[in-house]
């Protein structure tokens, strides 16, 4: 049971509740679509990453002082070096698996600022760069600790430069789900984890020992990532039977994303092996293929994934069947 007897913990818990909805990270990058990257850019030979890490030194001024550039040795500061590595791992996964040349498909330099704000409980992509808080030490550890979170936030950039999904209601939940899916895939790819080996957790290790919870979200079992007396219970539904209708959280974008998250997991579970292969390719082609409208609903998105599965693997293939069955299981109509 989380400790509630200190004022410091109560203040941290309030900040953490906001962080669980990523209030700060609802940036223009997520609400205003960017010009789509032509699908053909997938075929361009990806270059190497071009990373720059800055230190805000507890301020909220971006980008801060440069502390590590591409190719330089470790700085000795865990946040700086974790951010540097996380940007590189994410760049590598998109390049090696999907042929994507950085976040925009055109070799965008990857910048990040660490030590942002005082006891800041969040990490976010602001449309141009990554930003990491150090956490409050009571509820959250430093946010650079989680590779899945780094991959998640950078994928908001990929979405920004491809489908430009609106950040509200079901389109916003798909936007969040895409980030969870590829955040999980980055972690799985780096650690060479199969579908059965992977935890399918986003933000594992971010909570301190004072919190009853394993992660921010679970793709395998939405609604089970945490259950804490102060933070409450993970509110994510795992099917349309428990879809949450709310005006909060931009129409429940972080809550209802559990439904498409589970659909992706079910496809991966059915196919086995490595989730970044067939399942990841279907989802990536759906995101970047140019046919997904910015205001897509779950049903529109589901049909788009089915179309991508057919185009890639054929009608009636194991991949096609897995996609259909996954959406049926989470009660989304095709």
Secondary structure (3-state) at 98: helix
Secondary structure (3-state) at 307: helix
**Token duo for residue 163:** 């489908």
- Beta bridge mates, 51: 110
Q: How far is CA 113 from the centre of its chain?
A: 18
- 216 close to 223: Cβ distance less than 8 angstroms: no
Q: Strand (E) positions, the chain?
A: 51-55, 65-69, 110-114, 123-125, 130-132, 201-202, 217-218, 227-228, 232-233
* DSSP 8-state assignment for residue 140: B
- Beta bridge mates, 125: 130
Angle at 255 (CA atoms; ends 25, 253), nearest 5 degrees: 50
- Tell which residue, 142, 141, 114, has the closest CA to residue 129: 114
Active site residues: 153, 254
- 116 close to 60: Cβ distance less than 8 angstroms: yes
Q: What is the CA radius of gyration of the chain?
A: 19
Half-sphere exposure of 50 (CA within 13 A, CB side): 10
CA 106 to CA 151: how far, in whole Å?
18
């Amino acid at each position: 049971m989380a400790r509630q007897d200190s004022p410091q913990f109560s203040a941290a818990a309030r900040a953490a509740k906001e962080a669980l909805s990523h209030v700060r990270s609802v940036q223009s990058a997520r609400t205003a679509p960017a010009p789509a990257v032509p699908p053909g850019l997938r075929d361009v030979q990806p270059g190497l990453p071009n990373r720059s890490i800055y230190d805000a030194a507890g301020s909220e001024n971006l980008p801060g002082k440069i502390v590590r550039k591409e190719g330089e040795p470790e700085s000795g500061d865990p946040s700086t070096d974790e951010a540097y590595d996380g940007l590189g791992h994410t760049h590598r996964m998109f390049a090696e698996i999907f042929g994507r040349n950085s976040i925009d498909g055109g070799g965008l330099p990857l910048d990040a600022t660490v030590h942002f704000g005082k006891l800041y409980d969040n990490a976010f992509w602001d449309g141009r760069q990554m930003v990491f808080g150090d956490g409050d030490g009571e509820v959250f550890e430093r946010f650079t600790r989680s590779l899945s979170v780094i991959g998640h936030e950078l994928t908001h950039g990929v979405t920004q430069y491809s489908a430009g999904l609106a950040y509200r209601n079901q389109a916003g939940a798909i936007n969040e789900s895409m980030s969870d899916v590829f955040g999980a895939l980055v972690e799985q790819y780096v650690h060479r984890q199969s579908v059965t080996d992977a935890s399918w957790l986003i933000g594992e290790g971010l909570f301190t020992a004072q919190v009853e919870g394993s992660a921010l979200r679970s793709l395998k079992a939405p609604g089970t990532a945490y259950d804490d007396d102060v933070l409450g219970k993970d509110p994510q539904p795992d099917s349309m039977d428990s879809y949450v209708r709310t005006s909060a959280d931009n129409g429940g974008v972080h809550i209802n994303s559990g439904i498409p998250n589970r659909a992706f997991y079910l496809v991966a579970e059915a196919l086995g092996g490595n989730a970044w292969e067939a399942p990841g390719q279907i989802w990536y082609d759906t995101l970047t293929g140019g046919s997904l409208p910015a205001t897509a609903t779950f049903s529109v998105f589901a049909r788009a994934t089915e179309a991508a599965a057919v185009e890639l693997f054929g009608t009636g293939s194991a991949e096609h069947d897995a996609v259909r069955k996954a959406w049926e299981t989470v009660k989304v109509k095709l």
